[in-house]
Amino acid sequence: MNNVIVYAEHRGGSTRKVTFELATEAAKIASALGGKAYAAALGPGSSALAEQLARYPLEAVFTSDDADVERFLLDPIVDYLAEAAKKVGPSLVLVPNTLSGRDVAGRLMVRLTAGIVADVVELSVDNGSVVCVSPKLGGALVTHCALRPGEYGVVTVRPNAFAAAPSGAGARIESLAKPASNGYAAAIENDVEEGASELALEEAPVVVAGGRGLGGPEPFETLLKPLAQALGGAVGASRAAADAGWVPYNLQIGQTGKTVTPALYIAVGISGAIQHKVGMRASGTIVAINKDGNAPIAEFSDLLVVGDAFRIVPELTKLIETAKGQHT
């Protein structure tokens, strides 16, 4: 395995930061392996995305505007990716660790008879082997796992784990021919976008998360959102808040929700149950606001302020806004 291919996940050409993080890391790993880095952007809008990807140090970006990619559930994407991987030869395929990224990764593993490592946060090359670092058992364990040098490898990468830095000399854009197929299994009848304009939780540098202590849906809008905005971050939630219907499930953080690793995590009215902890324990700095000084979150936050969130949060937002005002 000398080359690296990035699966550039997108919707009609608009993608998330993780795509560029993968493109940046792919180039580093490819040069350590003595090979080249590629990306594949598939479906309507992929040409526009390819233009953006061309600013990264990649050899080529494979594209296809094939409308079937939006009409059928993942089958066309897996076909195209397998085709691109076969073109490039034994390679490392980097896939974002998102819901659909995981599906793609499991299927590509079989198509390419590849090894797979999931939820990777660090990559290195040791003696020609790619070594992947990934947390397991809800973060209780950090593993180092090597892929076989002569074979294909598939890695799902945690968003926010790598930096994105454009520095390309203009990658070649190459359109892929449609791979032969004996039909696609599942047809997409309709596709609804929810909360799309908001910053993706997994890639936000700051997450302000609320729990049952907020008592209802309004404080997420009136209390947490302004604080998150002041800090340039996104709003998240505990399962108790999602279960109560105060916020959509896609804001849930934890074992059965998203795993986030922002530089700063502020937990407001969240007790810190183990299932919540596993989704945010790797954050840079953890601050908690809780009425109860004995809440479990005290054990793993850098700062716990014991007090009423309804009084503290608005004051904090004001302080941050004032400070920002002085700098600009």
Partner 1 sequence: MKIVVTVKLVPNPNAEKRIDPQTKRLVRAGVDTVLNPYDEYALEAALQLKERTGGDTTVTIFSMAPDALKEGLRRALAMGADDAVVLSDEGLEGSDVWATAYAMAAALRTLTFDLLLVGGLTDDSSTGAVPGALAEHLGLPCITNARKVDIQGDRIEVERETDSGYQTVRGPLPTLLTTALTFGEPRYASLKGIMGAKKKTIAALSLPQLSLECPVGTAGSKTDLRSFAPPPVRGKGTTVEAADGAAGAQAIFDFLASRKLV
Considering only residues 308 to 327 of the shown chain, the ones binding ligand FAD according to CB under 6 A are 308-310
Which of the ranges 37-45, 77-85, 118-126, 305-313 carries the binding residues for ligand FAD, by CB under 6 A? 305-313
We find the least distance from the C-beta atom of residue 105 to ligand FAD, in angstroms, to be 21
We find the least distance from the C-beta atom of residue 31 to partner 1, in angstroms, to be 22
We find the least distance from the C-beta atom of residue 169 to partner 1, in angstroms, to be 32
> Which residue type occupies 131?
V
- Chain mean position to CA 267: 20
Q: Which residue is associated with the tokens 């520095």?
A: 167
Of 309-328, binders to partner 1 (CB under 8 A) are 310-316, 318-320, 323
SS3 19: helix
DSSP letter string over 32-54?
HHTS-EEEEEESTTHHHHHHHHT
Of 268-297, binders to partner 1 (CB under 8 A) are 274-275, 278, 281-282, 285-287, 289, 293
- Torsion-angle region of residue 31: left (phi > 0), alpha (psi -120 to 50) or beta? alpha
Residue 124 near partner 1 by CB under 8 A? no
Of 186-245, binders to ligand FAD (CB under 6 A) are 211-213, 238-241
State the binding partner of 196 from partner 1, ligand FAD, none, CB within 5 to 8 A by kind. Answer: partner 1
Task: Label residue 177 exposed, middle or buried (CB < 10 Å: 0-12, 13-18, 19+).
Answer: exposed
Residue 32 near partner 1 by CB under 8 A? no
SS3 229: helix
Q: Which residue is associated with the tokens 């992947």?
A: 132
Residue 19 near partner 1 by CB under 8 A? no
Please answer whether residues 109 and 82 qualify as being in contact, where contact means their C-beta atoms are separated by less than 8 angstroms.
no
Two structure tokens written together for 182: 């004996």
Residue 88 near partner 1 by CB under 8 A? no
Count interface residues toward ligand FAD (CB under 6 A). Answer: 28
Of the residues 63, 290, 301, 317, which one makes contact with ligand FAD according to CB under 6 A: 290
Q: Which is nearer to partner 1, 178 or 291 (CB)?
A: 291
Of the residues 180, 194, 326, 328, which one makes contact with partner 1 according to CB under 8 A: 194
Residue 6 near partner 1 by CB under 8 A? no
Of the residues 46, 252, 259, 301, which one makes contact with ligand FAD according to CB under 6 A: 252
* Interatomic CA distance for residues 213 and 309, integer angstroms: 8
- What's the DSSP call for residue 252? B
Which of 242-273 are b and which e, b meaning 16 or more Cβ less than 10 Å from the residue's Cβ?
bebebbeebbbbbbebbbbbbebbbbbbbbbb
Two structure tokens written together for 194: 């929810």
State the binding partner of 115 from partner 1, ligand FAD, none, CB within 5 to 8 A by kind. Answer: partner 1
Nearest to 297 by CA among 253, 258, 247, 263: 253
State the binding partner of 240 from partner 1, ligand FAD, none, CB within 5 to 8 A by kind. Answer: ligand FAD
Of the residues 204, 231, 237, 260, which one makes contact with partner 1 according to CB under 8 A: 231
Phi, psi for 42 (deg, rounded to 5) = -125, 145
Q: Which is nearer to ligand FAD, 283 or 290 (CB)?
A: 290
Please answer whether residues 176 and 62 qualify as being in contact, where contact means their C-beta atoms are separated by less than 8 angstroms.
yes
Which of the ranges 44-52, 59-67, 117-125, 216-224 carries the binding residues for partner 1, by CB under 8 A? 117-125
Q: Which residues in this chain contact ligand FAD in the complex, by CB under 6 A? A: 211-213, 238-241, 252-257, 269-271, 273, 275-276, 279, 289-292, 295, 308-310
